[in-house]
């Protein structure tokens, strides 16, 4: 595994500088070559700089691999295609969200992404929505395969709600709406704070909001919540360890995902695996997962009134946890890996057969 790390001067004391050049994780050799990135103005050169910076690592192991599998279209996927061409290897790119939803809105990056996707052997997409967008970029439809994300069933499963709340020191007599994600514009944070204010007016202290995550809008949420005239209780535990996420989900009444754009958000799958309904924006791959009103409710993105109405309805609904859990019964990371690996094997075998002729 090659997991590049952006190079930063040592005097900055950034945590990146503490990442070793090599480590072994669960028996897997992981290399961390440094790559150079020119901030902001250098985004259009990111793909080429990425390629040049990591090629020396691939040169050291050129006889040890047959296939390159890259997650994220740019700069990773672009560099992967250049490496595959140089070393005459097969390559696949997995597109997962903003690499298509956002980056293709920038003309030069769009051109690089189109080049990478057209010149790789396979494109894996985490949703049908992203698949259609990739095809609209001019990629042959038969080359793009949808493989939704999975869930770690060893961590995400139904637990007693009251017991989870006691472990987290949460009230057992309230209804809890939880957001889990990056606190940034594309995650619909403005809509989330608008809903907090409206539900606070409608239901008072009946509802508790929990906001888990970090990001550039962290202080924005605090200021908005502090300014509510009738303030609901808003808990902001910040970033929590991944092992504790199942506790927070199981302690919740509803999981809210008000995103403006998405790929296939893990939190939706994880919520269902824990038997919790989801109220979310009707964007990206979310409607492919929440495909029934027995699983949750979908609303237009950036619509506070509709989101407030849907959350209110969800809070008053008796949900069947068995139906929620069964929706993702087959959505495991093992099955995701099997699908991708099977396809990679087929591509590699075909490539080897052609080279042998």
pLDDT in tens, 311-338: 999 999 999 999 999 999 999 999 999 9
Judgement on whether residues 231 and 174 belong to the same structural domain of the protein? yes
| pLDDT exceeds cutoff 80 at 42 | no
Judgement on whether residues 204 and 314 belong to the same structural domain of the protein? yes
Q: Report the b/e string of 219-232 with b at 16+ CB within 10 A.
A: eebeebbeeeeeeb
pLDDT of residue 43: 74
User: Domain tally for the chain?
Assistant: 2
| pLDDT exceeds cutoff 90 at 354 | no
pLDDT of residue 13: 64
Contact predicate 93/80, CB 8 Å:
yes
Judgement on whether residues 180 and 302 belong to the same structural domain of the protein? yes
Domain of residue 277: give its range.
161-327
Judgement on whether residues 144 and 182 belong to the same structural domain of the protein? no
Residue with the larger pLDDT of the pair 71 and 38: 71
CA distance linking residue 286 with residue 263, whole number of Å: 8
In a domain, 26, yes or no: no
pLDDT of residue 41: 66
Distance of CA 192 to the CA centre of its chain: 19
| pLDDT exceeds cutoff 90 at 357 | no
CA distance linking residue 317 with residue 315, whole number of Å: 6
pLDDT 10s digits, 75-118: 999 999 999 999 999 999 999 999 999 999 999 999 999 999 99
Judgement on whether residues 47 and 127 belong to the same structural domain of the protein? yes
> Virtual CA dihedral for 188, 193, 195, 196, nearest 10 degrees?
140
Distance of CA 11 to the CA centre of its chain: 32
pLDDT of residue 162: 97
Could you give the residue ranges of the DSSP H alpha helices within the chain? 46-60, 78-87, 98-101, 107-119, 128-136, 161-167, 189-203, 218-226, 245-250, 266-273, 286-289, 304-315, 321-327, 333-356
Judgement on whether residues 101 and 43 belong to the same structural domain of the protein? yes
CATH number, position 250: 3.40.50.2000
In a domain, 268, yes or no: yes
The chain-wide mean pLDDT, for the chain, equals 92
pTM of the model: 0.90
């Amino acid at each position: 595994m090659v997991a590049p790390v952006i190079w930063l001067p040592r005097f900055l004391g950034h945590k990146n500088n503490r990442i070793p050049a090599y480590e072994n994780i669960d028996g897997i050799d992981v290399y961390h070559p440094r790559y150079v990135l020119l901030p902001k103005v250098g985004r259009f050169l990111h793909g080429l700089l990425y390629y040049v910076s990591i090629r020396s690592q691939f040169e050291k192991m050129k006889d040890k691999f047959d296939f390159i599998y890259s997650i994220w279209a740019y700069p990773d996927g672009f560099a992967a295609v250049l490496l595959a061409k140089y070393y005459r290897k097969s390559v696949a790119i997995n597109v997962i969200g903003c690499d298509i939803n956002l980056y293709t809105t920038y003309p030069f990056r769009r051109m690089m992404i189109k080049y990478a996707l057209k010149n790789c052997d396979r494109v894996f997409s985490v949703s049908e929505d992203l698949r259609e967008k990739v095809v609209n970029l001019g990629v042959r439809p038969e080359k793009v395969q949808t493989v939704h994300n999975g869930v770690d069933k060893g961590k995400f499963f139904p637990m007693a709600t009251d017991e989870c709340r006691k472990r987290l020191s949460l009230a057992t007599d309230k209804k809890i709406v939880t957001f889990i994600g990056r606190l940034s514009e594309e995650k619909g944070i403005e809509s989330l704070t608008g809903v907090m204010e409206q539900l606070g007016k409608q239901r008072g202290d009946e509802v508790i909001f929990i906001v888990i995550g970090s990001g550039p809008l962290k202080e924005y949420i605090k200021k908005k919540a502090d300014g509510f005239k009738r303030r609901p209780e808003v808990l902001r535990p910040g970033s929590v360890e991944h092992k504790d996420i199942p506790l927070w989900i199981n302690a919740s009444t509803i999981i809210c995902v008000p995103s403006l754009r998405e790929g296939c958000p893990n939190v939706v799958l994880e919520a269902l695996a824990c038997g919790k309904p989801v109220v979310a924006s009707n964007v990206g791959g979310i409607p492919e997962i929440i495909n029934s009103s027995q699983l949750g409710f979908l609303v237009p993105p950036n619509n506070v009134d509709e989101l407030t109405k849907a959350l209110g309805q969800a809070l008053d609904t008796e949900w069947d946890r068995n139906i929620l859990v069964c929706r993702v019964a087959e959505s495991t990371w093992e099955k995701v890996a099997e699908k991708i690996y099977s396809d990679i094997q087929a591509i590699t075998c075909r490539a080897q057969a052609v080279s042998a002729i």
